[in-house]
Amino acid sequence: MTSAAPDGPRQPLSAAVLLGVLGVVYGDIGTSPLYAMRAALLHFSSDGLERWEILGILSLIIWSLIIVVTVKYVWLVMRADNRGEGGILALMALAQRVTRSDRGRRAVAVTGIAGAALFFGDGVITPAISVLSAVEGLKVISPAFEGAVVPLSLAILMGLFLFQYRGTGLMGKIFGPITVAWFGVIGLLGLIEVFREPEVLSALSPHHAVQFCITYKLAAFIAFGSVVLAVTGAEALYADMGHFGRRPIQVAWVAFVLPSLTLNYLGQGALMLSDRAALENPFYLLAPEWLRLPLVVLATCATIIASQAMISGAYSIARQCVQLGFLPRLIVRHTSETEEGQIYLPQVNFALLVGVLVLVVTFRNSDSLAAAYGLAVTGTFLATSTLAGLVFHRTFRWPLALVIAVFAPLFALDLTFFLSNVLKVPEGGWVPLVIGGWLFASMLTWRKGRDLLFSRFRQDSLPLKSFLARLPQSRTTRVSGMAIFMTSQADYVPNALLHNMKHNKVLHEKVLFVTVTGEDTPRATERRKVEELAPNIHRVTLCYGFQESPDIPKELEGLRELGVDYQPMQASYFLGREQLVAATVPKMSRWRQWLFAVMSRNSVPATEFFRIPSDRVVELGVRVAI
């Protein structure tokens, strides 16, 4: 049995790094106490809550934190890093690398795409439920504030999304201290209540959770759909590993975040044991009356941070999907001159904003929205457990029996969470299913359409070797300058070149065939590959990882070091623009053809995506039947 993959670029374990971890990684799971305990207890409140019921729910929440977050993510899954990067798509790429058959690779891809699609569903719900639950604290201060909850939540969310173009660097400087204050305050409030009702500490024993499940059976199964709200955000630990490394995230969780969350949940349980009326809002009622308004302000700041982490994660996942070939080209703007990972995707931002505002206006309170939350998260949990089991078996050489012994119970728990949330589909669980299902279908359609498009190109195009062999005998006029032909098929003559020769009857003196490829690693190990095909004719392959954004002119500048006489002011870029038409015998259903055509039309132009100067581009159209 071999050891796990290395931790990637390791940052020193300093106070500054731990502060950054707290500000970026733990915002989502850190705001779960606002609504998780209350949502779980509401299932059993109709005929009054018994002490053993409160202790049972509390024990389920605490042990979910221990098993799902600590054991699964912190101890196990975070060992499976893709050159230091984490997240469902990084894990998918890692699993595909060790899968031998084409069918197996397709199954791994489908699992990863499903997890990524559900992540976007989670990304829409998290800001809505987090900000709503924080602002609802105003109702605890005074019922007169009830009418202000939705408008204030909408204003906060619109401000958050509209300022995304400024980047997270400025906001990130204050995220860490605010998150430290948040965890410190909620832990202290919980600890004070535990001193008043020390019996609640018995909930640390798992026998309360077991007794609760045995007694209630189906009702306990239903309660799992709300208990899982306590572990939403666990995927962020893995997804953000590339920013900080494994060890700082692990230390911050074990030493500070887990104790603070546990103390707060215990405090809410203790309050419920002494006063059942506290079910109105056990989180805010932990605080003395004079502290509730400052706590609402602090909670609102914490939920903005949680929302920001999810929004930034959606940007990263979207860019990874583009680079891996599952989404069309999107606008990617870098908001930092020093941090490559700080990006802004306006199309993704707008889609998230519309989705979040619609959810707030439709559901209007966190209790109703809690029914929609959880399905997306648990679906991603299932995908992660499946892919991690494969990686631990194939990459780390764990015996199959050990993989089953470790991951089967985790998968069973994830499946229980998922199925319990399926029951909430009529109440709102359909929301992440619709979002995730639409994105899943879109990503598969885009991948299938591009594969068909490339196949058609190969059928209709001339092999590059044949073209070059005939070129010396042809009477093609060569003109001064350099022509750069962007092509996705490195072994075939680009249609743009054939159309240029057909209409203009010339070929430039210097020719570059440039192909951009994506690797299943965060960053490419070798950026440029250059091959001389004929005098003054070169094939250039530019490789990018799924965490990188292409910049063609910048990379071509480096060709002079490799012996290619590249003069940017003499270069013209030739690109082909495909016009899609239906084939006589179509290879995709009609609705998928329509969807692929819509996605193609709305794809960001290659000039913008590859950062090619628009005044040096010639586009030649071609009709393609698929």
Domain assignment of residue 325, yes or no = yes
| Among 430, 453, 478, residue at a domain's last position | 430
Residues 473-495 have pLDDT tens digits of 877 888 888 999 988 888 888 88
- DSSP structure string for 340-363: TT-EE-HHHHHHHHHHHHHHHHHH
| Among 414, 430, 446, residue at a domain's last position | 430
In angstroms, the CA 60 to CA 54 distance is: 10
Q: What is the pLDDT of residue 8?
A: 43
Residues 95 and 227 in one domain: yes
- Our CA angle for 611, 615, 617, nearest 5°, is 70
Residues 50-76 have pLDDT tens digits of 899 999 999 999 999 999 999 999 999
Residues 551 and 425 in one domain: no
Domain assignment of residue 101, yes or no = yes
In angstroms, the CA 44 to CA 34 distance is: 19
For residue 35, the enclosing domain spans 16-430
Q: What is the pLDDT of residue 9?
A: 44
Residues 313-357 have pLDDT tens digits of 788 888 888 888 899 989 888 776 555 556 788 999 999 999 999
Higher pLDDT, 107 or 81: 107
Q: What is the pLDDT of residue 3?
A: 38
How many other β-carbons are positioned within 10 Å of the β-carbon of residue 79?
Answer: 18
Domain assignment of residue 5, yes or no = no
Run of H or E residues at 515: strand 506-518
Residues 218 and 81 in one domain: yes
Q: How far apart are the first and last CA of the chain?
A: 48
Domain assignment of residue 456, yes or no = no
Run of H or E residues at 577: strand 571-581
Instruction: Indicate the residue type of 578.
Output: E
Residues 222 and 102 in one domain: yes
CATH assignment at residue 554: 3.40.50
Length of the chain: 626
Q: What is the pLDDT of residue 172?
A: 56
Higher pLDDT, 26 or 123: 26
Residue 358: both structure tokens together: 């619609």
Residues 407 and 472 in one domain: no
CATH assignment at residue 117: 1.20.1740.10
In angstroms, the CA 227 to CA 490 distance is: 52
Higher pLDDT, 28 or 193: 193
Residues 539-590 have pLDDT tens digits of 999 998 887 888 899 999 888 888 888 888 889 999 887 777 777 667 788 8
Q: What is the pLDDT of residue 7?
A: 43
Residues 293 and 409 in one domain: yes
In angstroms, the CA 221 to CA 213 distance is: 7
Residues 349 and 489 in one domain: no
Are 79 and 232 in contact, with CB atoms under 8 Å apart? no
Q: Which of 382-417 are b and which e, b meaning 16 or more Cβ less than 10 Å from the residue's Cβ?
A: bbbbbbbbbbbbbbbebeeeebeebbeebbebbebb
Average the pLDDT over 364-391 and give the result. 87
Residue 403: both structure tokens together: 């993989």
Strand duo 333-334 + 343-344: pairing: antiparallel
In angstroms, the CA 120 to CA 130 distance is: 16
Sign of CA dihedral 306, 311, 316, 318: positive
Computed over every residue of the chain, the mean pLDDT equals 86
Average the pLDDT over 214-224 and give the result. 87
Return the bridge partners of 584, or none. Answer: none
Are 310 and 126 in contact, with CB atoms under 8 Å apart? yes
| Band of pLDDT at residue 173, cut at 50, 70 and 90 | low
Whether 131 shows a pLDDT value over 60: the answer reads: yes
Residues 215 and 255 in one domain: yes
342 CB contacts (<8 Å, ≥6 apart)?
A: 167, 168, 169, 334, 335, 336
Considering its fold, how many domains does the chain have in total?
A: 2
Residue 292: both structure tokens together: 């509730």
Choose from 14-28, 124-138, 262-276, 511-525 the range with maximum mean pLDDT. Answer: 262-276
Helix axes 289-323, 88-97, angle to 10 degrees: 40
Report DSSP state, residue 50.
Answer: -
* In the chain, % of residues over pLDDT 70: 95
Residues 422 and 542 in one domain: no
Average the pLDDT over 145-153 and give the result. 90
Residue 357: both structure tokens together: 């505002």
Residues 448-472 have pLDDT tens digits of 998 888 888 888 788 888 888 888 8
Residues 377 and 482 in one domain: no
Residues 583-602 have pLDDT tens digits of 766 778 888 988 998 998 88
Whether 198 shows a pLDDT value over 80: the answer reads: yes
Are 63 and 262 in contact, with CB atoms under 8 Å apart? no
In angstroms, the CA 412 to CA 410 distance is: 5
Residue 232: both structure tokens together: 């939403």
Return the bridge partners of 515, or none. Answer: 541
Domain assignment of residue 440, yes or no = no
> What values do phi and psi take at 445, rounded to 5?
-65, -45
Residues 176 and 307 in one domain: yes
Average the pLDDT over 133-137 and give the result. 87
Q: What is the pLDDT of residue 4?
A: 40
* In the chain, % of residues over pLDDT 90: 36
In angstroms, the CA 509 to CA 480 distance is: 5
Domain assignment of residue 183, yes or no = yes
95 CB contacts (<8 Å, ≥6 apart)?
A: 108, 112, 387, 390, 391, 394
Q: What is the pLDDT of residue 400?
A: 94
Tell me if residue 514 falls in helix, strand or coil.
strand
Q: What is the pLDDT of residue 620?
A: 76
Higher pLDDT, 412 or 172: 412
Q: What is the pLDDT of residue 168?
A: 58
Higher pLDDT, 382 or 371: 382
Q: What is the pLDDT of residue 170?
A: 54
Residues 527 and 418 in one domain: no
Domain assignment of residue 577, yes or no = yes
Domain assignment of residue 282, yes or no = yes
Dihedral angle computed from the Cα positions of residues 255, 53, 182 and 244, in that order, rounded to the nearest 10 degrees:
40
Whether 2 shows a pLDDT value over 50: the answer reads: no
Placement of tokens 């393609």 in the chain: 624
204 CB contacts (<8 Å, ≥6 apart)?
A: 59, 62, 266
Placement of tokens 């969780």 in the chain: 253
Residues 82-92 have pLDDT tens digits of 877 788 888 99
Report DSSP state, residue 463.
Answer: B
